[in-house]
Amino acid sequence: MTALTLLHLTFVGPGKEFAAVDFDRRLTVIYGASDTGKSFIVEAIDYMLGASSLKQIPEADGYTRILLGLRLANKRIVTISCTPAGNKVAVHDGDVRTLTSAKPMREFNFKHSKTSSNSLSRYLLGLGGADGRCVLKNARREQLSLSFRHLAHLCVINETQMASPRSPVLTSGQVIHATAEKSVFRYLLTGRDEPEVATGTSEVEKKVGKGKIDLLDQLIAQTRGSLSLESGEAALRTRLERIEAALAQASSGIEELVSERSVIVERMRVLQAGITDNRARAGEVRTLVARFHLLHQQYDSDLARLEMVAEAGTLLGYFRVGICVFCGAAPEHQRADHHVHETTRLQAAVTAETRKTTELSQDLLTTIDDLEAQLGFLDDEHSNDQRETATLQQRLARLEERLRPMDSDNRELLAVRAQIQTDLAIHAQVQRLEDLRADLSAEPDNPQPSPTDEIGSEDLLTFERLVQQTLLSWQVPGDNNVSYNQGTAEIIVDGRERGTRGKGMRSIIHAAFTAALALYTTSRDLPHPGFVVLDSPVLTYREPHEQDVLLTHNVVEHFYQGLLNDFPVQTVVIENGDPPEHLDTHATVYAFSTEGSDRAGFFPPTQTT
């Protein structure tokens, strides 16, 4: 298979800072503290290569699109794009690292199908001419279409697989898949798949198969009957695009009217507040004017009384002998001009009081004039605000009339869009049922002689020696004589099965097996994705009888140096422990949440307020 090269893994989402790692064409090392997203990177790569699901983690909330950049053998660059929980995957031409509305080059289903080429698996297999190959499904020699997942299991190794006692060949751990998994390994070493041969089926198997097909036919008919629009999937997608465009255009027009409406409503609010304040001030002024008029009347009354006193005051004591009406003096104490003197004093007092009261009255009249002028201004302002409010209400009514049909049209478009989306989901369900029905096609009646299931001794010996050379180059203790048991699919090193070893040795042997398989296949132009991803290959390894739980520096050092100097296949290593110093001068190294690192993890830290 033509080799693929990983370029980058990128998570993007609206308003989110992108999370990404770029992969070196030779060696990329990602190490650091736990819970920083290292193993999640491995799972995301596997998911983008067709794994059924991706574990959801809180750090990935808000990221709506995953992008995996690939360089093909012909130097062409493509980007695989999908959602974290979707059933469709898009392939864009070129290196895409942001959210894009550009139409993809192709769109595929995640699930592999032998009868439908519209799957990511068939696309990736077709890049290297491995599409359409078959492997054994079971001991009855039934055929199974080769899937890219069969190959991905042997090059993307997560932490659980790495240390598992299970054989690196038997990746699923399920007995029913063991024949197929051994057949895939045989295909990788020999380049020869299982030819299409007719296999016999029993009458019971034929009846069961026919019953399944009949049931699927009923389900397909019932599902199609729930379609509400009489249009094909392609026509529905075209119509959906037109509706989305119409909604976008309508939304733009509505936004302008709503913005204008908001300005009018805000102006009316300001005017109403001004009117309320105006009426409150006018009421206060009217109250003051009324009170000042009453006070002015009081001043007029006082002046009238003073005038009366001035005119009649001197007459009160002129014609009567007795006690003085002005000062109360008895006759014997009064002088001859006593009445005249007292009358003069009264006149002066009345004159002074009259002058004072007149001045106060004039001042009050001036104040009343000012207040009445203010009241006139407030009334004019009130009239102007009322007229402007009436004008704005008319404009608002006209806007509401323009918005009303737009809202109605939008509701209709939204209803049609929901209906189309529902029908598209039904079409997808029908396609899945049809794919399943195609996989249940009738079996041929007459089996042909079966070919041998054995790997040729020469091919097997070459591979075993390559695993041995890998272990020796990494300075793993022992002679590292390697053999492969074709019956059990077990790897045996120095006479001991890998599954009986400790966790550390299981991991390092698994890593050597994966690296040797990649080197063997790519050097012979045999099917292989062209890269390996290893999660925790040397995390738990230590020398025999070593008491310290830290990694053995000798093995770790030679492990990384071997991958860097003697291994031509692109490699991604995930580890908790620190790699050798100065490795970053020759490889791409990411340190997550560790001393000297500038990244807390794969995802940027969440900003808190």
In this structure, the strands spanning 143-145 and 27-32 are unpaired
Cβ-based neighbours of 419, under 8 Å, separated by 6 or more: 228, 229
Q: Please report the pLDDT score of residue 606 as a whole number.
A: 77
pLDDT of amino acid 493: 96
- Is the pTM higher than 0.75? The answer reads no
Residue 169 buriedness (CB in 10 A; 0-12 / 13-18 / 19+): buried
Helix (H) / strand (E) element for 404: namely helix 338-439
Q: How many CA atoms lie within 13 A of 500 on its CB side?
A: 8
pLDDT at 320: 46
* Under 8 Å between Cβ of 102 and 46: no
Element (H, E) at 92: strand 88-93
Helix axes 457-473, 178-190, angle to 10 degrees: 90
pLDDT (0 to 100) of residue 565: 87
Query: What was the pLDDT predicted at 317?
Result: 47
The domain at 5-201+445-540+549-592 falls in which architecture? Answer: 3-Layer(aba) Sandwich (3.40)
Quote the pLDDT of residue 306. Answer: 84
- Whether the Cβ atoms of residue 21 and residue 28 lie closer than 8 Å to each other: yes
As a whole number of Å, the end-to-end CA separation of the chain is 51
- What is the predicted pLDDT for the residue at 193? 84
Structure tokens at 389: 């409010």
Supply the pLDDT for residue 157.
Answer: 97
CATH of domain 233-439: 1.10.287.1490
Query: How many other C-beta atoms lie within 10 A of the C-beta of residue 392?
Result: 16
- SS3 (DSSP) at 569: coil
**DSSP summary character for residue 145:** E
Query: What DSSP string describes 46-81?
Result: HHHTT-S-----GGGTT--EEEEEEE-TTS-EEEEE
Cα 11 to Cα 17, 18, 479, 580, distances in angstroms: 9, 6, 45, 29
Give average pLDDT by consecutive 10-residue segment, the chain, 609 residues: 86 95 96 93 96 92 96 94 90 95 90 85 87 86 90 95 95 89 94 67 62 78 76 78 75 73 87 90 90 90 84 52 58 54 70 89 90 91 92 86 72 77 81 78 48 80 96 94 94 95 94 97 91 90 45 81 91 93 90 87 78
Cite the DSSP H helix spans in 52-202. Answer: 120-126, 148-152, 159-163, 178-190
Q: Are 454 and 180 in contact (CB under 8 A)?
A: no
> Looking at residue 544, what is its pLDDT?
53
In the chain, what are the domain boundaries?
5-201+445-540+549-592, 233-439
User: Phi/psi zone of residue 520: left (φ > 0), alpha (ψ -120 to 50 degrees), beta?
Assistant: alpha
